[in-house]
Amino acid sequence: MQRVVTVKHHVYILDNPRIPRVATEERLIDLSQIPEAALELESCGGCGVQPGEAHAQVNPGDCDWAHCPDCGEQLLLHDCEHWDEDADGPDRPSIWHGVRPDTDAAVKAGYFFWHPAPDINRYVPDEGMARARLEWNPETQKYRV
C-alpha cells in the first residue's frame, strides 16, 4: 500500500556538509516498509495497564508514559495551564489507548522521518510533528487527525 506522507530528511549544505538542515517534503512511500504503520495495541510500558484503562497512578506523574488528559503533554513533572491554580494534577485520569497518542497521530496523519541510525535506518513516526501540527482533544485524550 502506497500513500503520500509528510517526511523529514536531513539535507546538507554543499559548502558545509557537517551542518544539516531539515527539509520537509511530501513523498510517495510504501507503508508496508514502515513497521509502525500498523500499530499493535499493547499494555502500557510504564505501569502495565491494558488499553482503555487509566494509567496506574497514586500521584500525577507516577507513570512516565501517562499524558495530561487536558493538553496531551507528558504528565511526568507537568504543571498544566488548564488546571486550577492550587491543583497538583488533573481532576481525571489519563487513559492508555494501547499506543502513545503522539505515535498514533503521527501514523494516522502520515508524519514520518528517516532515522539514519545504523540499528534503525528506516522511516519512523514523527511524534514531534504530530504534537506541533495537530490539536489535542481533551474529551478523547487523543490528537485530532
Largest CA distance in the chain: 55
Tell me the pLDDT of the chain (145 aa) as tens digits: 545 555 555 444 444 445 445 555 556 556 656 655 557 889 999 899 999 999 987 665 678 899 999 999 888 777 888 888 877 678 888 999 999 999 999 888 888 887 777 787 777 888 998 999 999 999 999 999 9
Query: Closest Cα partner for 126 from 7, 29, 30, 42?
Result: 7
Residue 128, helix vs strand vs coil:
helix
Residue 129's φ and ψ, nearest 5 degrees, are: -70, -40
**Cell digits for 88?**
497538583
Query: Closest Cα partner for 134 from 122, 120, 124, 144?
Result: 144
* For the chain, domain boundaries: 1-40+101-145, 43-98
**Cell digits for 82?**
488548564
Please give the model's pTM, rounded to 2 decimal places: 0.72
| Neighbouring residues of 70: CB distance < 8 A, sequence distance ≥ 6 | 80, 82, 83, 90, 138
